[in-house]
Amino acid sequence: SAMPQLNETHVPALRSWIASAQEPGCDFPLQNLPHAVFRRTGSNESWRGGVAIGDQVLDLAAALASGAFDTAPAEAREALTDAARPALNALMARGPEDWSALRLALSRALREGAAAQARLASALVPQALVEYTVPARIGDYTDFYTSVHHATNIGRLFRPDQPLMPNYKWVPIGYHGRASTIGVSGQAFARPQGQTLPIGATQPAFGPCQRLDYEMELGLYIGAGNAPGEPIPIGLAERHLFGVCLLNDWSARDIQAWEYQPLGPFLSKNFATTVSPWVVTLEALAPFRVPFVRPVEDPQPLPYLDDAEQRRAGAIDVQLEVWLETEASRGAGHGAMRLSRTSYRHAYWTPAQLVAHHSVNGCALQPGDLLGTGTLSGPAPDEAGALIELTRGGREPLALPDGTARTFLLDGDAVILRGWCEAPGAARIGFGECRGRVLPARQHAG
C-alpha cells in the first residue's frame, strides 16, 4: 500500500517522559511528532529542525549530538541528520520508508522509560521561547479549489443561474500561486493596494483593498518529486506527500473581482499567504483517514483520478476552526472569537488526487513544493471558510460575540486557524495554530 499504515507509533496508550505531552487537549502528544524549523526567539542562532513533543521542541541537532540515537538504524540516523537542517527539503526528498524509520526512532526515544531520556533532556527547548520560519524552501506553490461547497457558494454570488462551472466536478481546479510571499504563523502584512472597479463606475480606481478576506485551507507539502514527463499514478501519490499544515490564503476580493477574468487570481492573492510552523506527517494522520465518497448523481472521477484505496480511505478528517482577534478584543483582554468550524473530510478531491492531477501532464513536482487545498467550507452555512461566504458577498455583516460586526477584515484584525484530529481508538493530535495580522496600507504607494 502506498498509503501510510497504522503501526506502533499510533498506539493510543503510549506515554512520553515529557509530562506535558499527556495534557488533555495537547496538540503534540507522542503520537504526533510534527516537524518545524526554529531557533530561540531573538537569538542569532542558525535555524534548525525540531520536533514538537508536549509544550517542548526537541532540537534535533542537539539530539543527534547527545548520542541518544547512536544505536538507531542507519536510515533513521541519516533522516534525523536531514531533519535537523535549516529547511526540511532534504528530509522531504528521502521518501516514506526513511520518514517512517525516523518517526519510530523518535517515538521510542521519547516514550516513558526510554534509556534516551537522560541524554535528550538537555535537547528540549520550551515552545514559549522559540520562533519559527517557513519550514521548507518552497520552489512552487499551487492553490487548488477543492471544496464544492465553497465553489458553489462563491459561484452563486457571481452566477446565480450556474454557480458551478461545468468542469468543476470533473477536474481539480487550481492556479499557480506565489512562493515568495508565504510567511510563517505570526506574519503581519500591510493591507494590499491595487485596481478595483467601484460599483457603478466605468473605469477602475487605485487604492487600498476594501474587501480583505481570509481563506481557511490546508497546505500539503510534497516529499520526493517526479522526473519531468513522468506522471505520478494515483496509487503511488501518497508516497510523494510528506505532510500537512494549516494555510491562510489571504484574498483581496475587490481586486480579485476586477482582475480574475479571464486568467484567474493574480494580485488579489499573491501579497501574503500564512502557514503554520508545524508539518504534521502523513503517517501521523493514518488513524484519521475516511472514505472518499462521490454522490451517486455526480460524475465519477476519470480513471487516472480513481483508485480503490482512495475510495476506502483517501480523505482525512481534520477538524478546522477560524478565530478572529480584533484590536478591540485584544485591548479588552477578551481574546479571539470563533467564526466557523468544519472538517477537511468534506473536500471534493483528496490529496492523492491533487498530486496525480498536478503531474499527469508531466509537470515535475519537487521536494518542498506546497499545494493549497483551497478554502475548506462544509455543507452548513456556519462551516464556511471565508468571510465572503459568511457575509453572503458582504451583504450581511457577521455579528461577533462582542457585539461588533464584520463584513471584511479591518486593520489590526488577527485571524487564527486551528486544526486537530480525533477519532475513537486514536490519540488526539493537533496542528498548532496559524496566525496572521492585517496592518494598515502603506502610505504613498504608486
pLDDT tens for residues 11-39?
A: 999 999 999 999 999 999 999 999 999 99
Residue 143 burial by CB count (10 A; 0-12/13-18/19+): exposed, middle or buried? buried
Grid coordinates given for 187: 506574519
Rounded CA-CA distance 184/129 in Å is 16
pLDDT in tens, 72-92: 999 999 999 999 999 999 999
What pTM does this model have? 0.98
- Residue 346 known to be catalytic: no
Q: Are 317 and 287 in contact (CB under 8 A)?
A: no
Grid coordinates given for 208: 487600498
Mean per-residue pLDDT over the chain, rounded: 96
Nearest residue to 343 (alpha-carbon basis) of 307, 306, 302, 382: 382
Nearest residue to 351 (alpha-carbon basis) of 280, 297, 277: 280
Grid coordinates given for 202: 466605468
Q: Rounded to an integer, what is the distance from CA 159 to the centroid of its chain?
A: 29
Residues written for the chain: 446
Judging by DSSP bridges, how do beta strands 124-126 and 56-59 pair with one another? Answer: antiparallel
Nearest residue to 11 (alpha-carbon basis) of 26, 27, 31: 31
Residues 6+ apart with CB under 8 A from 397: 391, 405, 406, 407
Question: What pLDDT is recorded for position 444?
Answer: 66
Question: Residue 443 — pLDDT band, cuts 50, 70, 90?
Answer: confident
Strand partners, 418: 321, 433
Grid coordinates given for 64: 543527534
Given a cut of 70, is residue 446 above it in pLDDT? no
* Torsion sign (Cα): 184, 190, 193, 198: positive
Question: What pLDDT is recorded for position 420?
Answer: 98
Q: Which of 150, 240, 346, 357 is catalytic?
A: 150
pLDDT in tens, 132-151: 999 999 999 999 999 999 99
